[in-house]
Chains A and B, each alone.
Chain A
Amino acid sequence: MSGSAIPFRVRLAASGLDGVTLLVIPAMVLILALFVYPFSYGLILSFHPKDGSFLGNYGHFFSDPFLYGTIYTTLALALPVTLLNLVAAVPVAFRIRRMRHQRLITTILVLPITLGTVLVAEGMLNYFGPQGWFIRTLSILGLGSPASIKLVHNYWGVFLSLVITGFPFTFLLTLSYVSGIDVALENAAATLGARSAARFRTIFLPLLAPGLAITFCLSFVQAYSVFPSAVLLGAPAGPTRVISIAAYEAAFEQYDYSLASAIAMVMGAVQLVVVVGVLMSRSLFYRGPAAGAKG
C-alpha cells in the first residue's frame, strides 16, 4: 500500500459500490438463471434446425401460412382485448378513486386474477356454453337462440376470457396512475371553468398518457402469450390458433425444439416491436411528476 490516505474500500464506496451493492446478487443470479440463460439457449437453438441450415427454421416459419398466420391471429386477439381493457379500466378507475369503499370494490374487481385462466375458462365453458345461463337467459328474453349465438370454441370465447382475466391487471395499473394525479389539479381546472370533459382532455389525459402506454404494453404482452384459454375456449385448429399453440405443437407434437425456439423468438420479436412502438410514442407527452407543486 502506498501512502495515499484514502483506502480502496472508501474509494469504491464513493463511486457507489459498497456492501449494499452485494444485495443485487440474488436478483442477478435469478435473472441470469431464469431469463438470460434460457433465452440465449433458445436463441442459439433456433439457428440449429434439423436440416442444418442457419436460417432454416425462420425460412420454414415465414413460408408456411399455417405458421406465420398465427402472428396475425394472435395480434387480432391481443390488440383489441388490450385496448378494450384499457378503455374500460380508465372510467372505472376514475369512479373508484372517489369512492369510499374503494378497497372492497377493488378487491372484487381484482378477484379474477387469483382464479387463474384455467378455472375461468372452465367456468366460462359452462356459463357461456350452449346450455349455459347466459345463452338460455338470452333465448328466454327472445334476444337469440342457442343455435344463433356461439360464445365458446371460437374467437369470442378467447376474447371474453382474455377480457375477464386481463381486466383486473389493467385496472390495477390504471388505478395507480389515476390516483397519482393530484386532486387539486382537477379542482384548479374546474375553478377556471373547465367542465368534466375538458378537464379529462386537457389535464388527465396528457398526464395519464405515459402511464397508460406502460399499462398497454404490460397488458398486451400478457394477452399476446395467451395459451390455455385459446385451447380450452377457442378453436385451436383454426380461428384461435395463436402463436403459442404453434410453438407448443412444434415442441411437443413434432418434437422439433429448434423450430419451437424459432417460433418463440418470432413471438418475442413481435411483442418487442409493439412495445417499443408504444413506448416511443410516450416521448410525445409530458413525463414528469403529476403533482401541482414542487416536492
Chain B
Amino acid sequence: MGSHIAFQSLRLEKVGRTFGAMNALQDLTLEIKRGEFIALLGPSGCGKSTALNCIAGLLATTSGAIWLDDVRIDTLAVEDRGFGMVFQNYALFPHMTVRSNIGFGLRMRGVAKAELERRVDAAIRTVRLESQAHKLPGQLSGGQQQRVAIARAIAIDPPLVLMDEPLSNLDAKLRLEMRQEIRRIHQDLGGVTIYVTHDQDEALSLADRIVVLREGMIRQVGTPEDLYLRPAHIDVAEFMGFRNRLEGTLISDGSVQPMARASADFGGTVLEGVALHSLPGPAVTAAIRPDDLTPVDANHPGIDATVEAFEYRGRDFFGTARTPAGVELFFRSEVPLHAGEAVRLSADPSKILIYQGGAA
C-alpha cells in the first residue's frame, strides 16, 4: 500500500480561524514532509482540533493557505481533498457492515468491483479484522470499532491521514496496543499522519515532530526529544512533566545568553540552572521534574520544605512537600520519609530550567 503516494510536503501558511471575536487558531505556519508523523499537542481549547478540521476541510479557514506541494487545498471542498480522517467517536456508519464501511470511500470514487474488493481486503488485513468483516459496527468492541475507522480512512490511500484523539475513548491497555498499530500503519502507508492529542505520552511515543499549541498559537515545534529535554516555554515544560515551578529573582546582572548557566534567588536559596533563552531578568521561574528533585544534606544548598505526603512507588518513593512560602513541590526519594518531616530538596543544575517571567 501507499507506493503511489507522490507528494513532497504539506505546507500551512499563516492559517487562522476565528469564531466571532475569538481567535481559535492564529498564524499556524508549518511544513510537513512526506513520511512524517506529526502530533498536535495541547490542552482542550488550544486550537488543535480546529487546526485539524481546517486541514480536513470540515471547517473553513479565515486566513492563510494550505498547500500540498503546488496545489492549494484550503479552497477545495472536503470531498475533493481525499484525506483520510479518523474521528474521536469513530463515526462508523451504523447500518453498514465492516466491509461496507471500509469500502465506502472507494465506492464513492467509483473504483471497479474487483479492485475495490482487493483494496478492502488489504485494509482489513492491515487492521487485523478479518474475522469481523461481516459484522455491523454495533457488534464490535471499542478497539475494533476504532480499527474499522482507521481501515476506512486508509482504504482510499490518502496522502494525509488526520486523527482526532482516536484513542481517547479506549481503556489504558488498549490505548498502548493501538499506539503501536497506528505507528505501524503510518509507516506502511508512507504518507503524512497528523494526530491530535492532549496526552503528552501519546505524542512523545508516536510522533516524529510535535507541535505544541496553546490559545490558538504554536508554542513550540520539535522532535519529542527536543520537547522533553528543552521545552521552549514554561507552559510546554509543564506539559512535559516539569511539575515543579519556583518563582525567583535572577542574580547575575544583565542578560544571560541562551543555553548558559544562570543563578537565581528562590526565597533565600540560590540555585543554578540552565537558561534556554536569554534572560533579561529579574523575575524568573524555575521548572524541575519531580524525578530530578531529591532530598539533599543540610550542608548543600536547597529548598527547605515540609513533607506533606509520601508514598512507596516500588523502586523509590514519591513525595509532596510545601515550602514556608506555600509552594507545593513534588519530589523523588531513595529513602523513606514521613509526613511532617523537614526536608531540603535540590536538583542537578543541568536539570533545572530557568525561564523568563514570574507569576503565571
- List residues of chain A with CB under 8 Å of any chain B CB: 182, 184-185, 187-195, 198, 202-203, 206-207, 285-286, 288-294
Q: Which of B66-74, B92-100, B281-289 lies at the interface?
A: B92-100
Q: Are A291 and B94 in contact (CB under 8 A)?
A: yes
Once A191-B83, A192-B156, A194-B108 are accepted as A-B contacts, the answer to whether A290 and B94 lie under 8 Å apart by CB is yes
Q: Return the CB mask of B162-174 against A: 1 if under 8 Å, else 0.
A: 1000000100000
Nearest B-chain residue to A184, judged by Cβ: B91
Once A191-B58, A192-B156 are accepted as A-B contacts, the answer to whether A184 and B95 lie under 8 Å apart by CB is no
Query: In the assembly, what is the distance between CA of A198 and CA of B77, in Å?
Result: 15
A-chain residues with CB within 8 Å of residue B89 when the two chains form the complex: 182, 184, 291-293
Q: Are B79 and A195 in contact (CB under 8 A)?
A: yes
Q: How far is the CB of B318 from chain A (nearest CB, A)?
A: 35
- Asked if B152 CB lies within 8 Å of chain A CBs, one says yes
Nearest A-chain residue to B94, judged by Cβ: A288
Q: Are B109 and A292 in contact (CB under 8 A)?
A: no
Q: How far is the CB of B344 from chain A (nearest CB, A)?
A: 50
Q: A184, A192, A207, A285: which contacts B105 (Cβ < 8 A)? A: A192
- Asked if B16 CB lies within 8 Å of chain A CBs, one says no
Nearest A-chain residue to B95, judged by Cβ: A286
B-chain residues with CB within 8 Å of residue A189 when the two chains form the complex: 93, 104, 108
Q: Return the CB mask of B53-96 against A: 1 if under 8 Å, else 0.
A: 00011100000000000000000001111111101011111110
Query: In the assembly, what is the distance between CA of A203 and CA of B91, in Å?
Result: 11
Q: List 5 A–B pairs whose Cβ atoms lie within 8 Å, in order of A's numbering.
A: A187-B58, A187-B78, A192-B152, A192-B156, A292-B87
- Asked if B138 CB lies within 8 Å of chain A CBs, one says yes
- Asked if B43 CB lies within 8 Å of chain A CBs, one says no
Q: A195, A198, A292, A294: which contacts B91 (Cβ < 8 A)? A: A292
Query: In the assembly, what is the distance between CA of A187 and CA of B93, in Å?
Result: 11
Counted as pairs of residues, one from A and one from B, with CB atoms less than 8 Å apart, the total is: 92
Query: In the assembly, what is the distance between CA of A203 and CA of B157, in Å?
Result: 22
Q: Are A190 and B92 in contact (CB under 8 A)?
A: no
B-chain residues with CB within 8 Å of residue A192 when the two chains form the complex: 104-105, 108, 152-153, 156
A-B pairs with lowest CB-CB distance, top 7 = A286-B95, A292-B91, A192-B105, A184-B91, A188-B91, A193-B108, A191-B85
Query: In the assembly, what is the distance between CA of A198 and CA of B109, in Å?
Result: 11
Q: Are A288 and B105 in contact (CB under 8 A)?
A: no
Nearest A-chain residue to B88, judged by Cβ: A184
Nearest B-chain residue to A187, judged by Cβ: B58
Residues 92 to 128 of chain B near chain A (Cβ within 8 Å):
92-95, 104-105, 108-109
Q: How far is the CB of A177 from chain B (nearest CB, A)?
A: 14
Query: In the assembly, what is the distance between CA of A198 and CA of B93, in Å?
Result: 14
Query: In the assembly, what is the distance between CA of A294 and CA of B144, in Å?
Result: 11
Q: Are B142 and A193 in contact (CB under 8 A)?
A: no
A-chain residues with CB within 8 Å of residue B95 when the two chains form the complex: 206-207, 285-286, 288
Q: Are A293 and B108 in contact (CB under 8 A)?
A: no
Task: Give me 5 other A-B pairs in contact (C-beta within 8 A), A188-B152, A288-B138, A293-B89 excluded.
Answer: A187-B87, A189-B108, A190-B58, A193-B105, A292-B91
Once A190-B58, A192-B152, A193-B82 are accepted as A-B contacts, the answer to whether A289 and B94 lie under 8 Å apart by CB is yes
B-chain residues with CB within 8 Å of residue A286 when the two chains form the complex: 94-95, 136
Q: Are B93 and A294 in contact (CB under 8 A)?
A: no
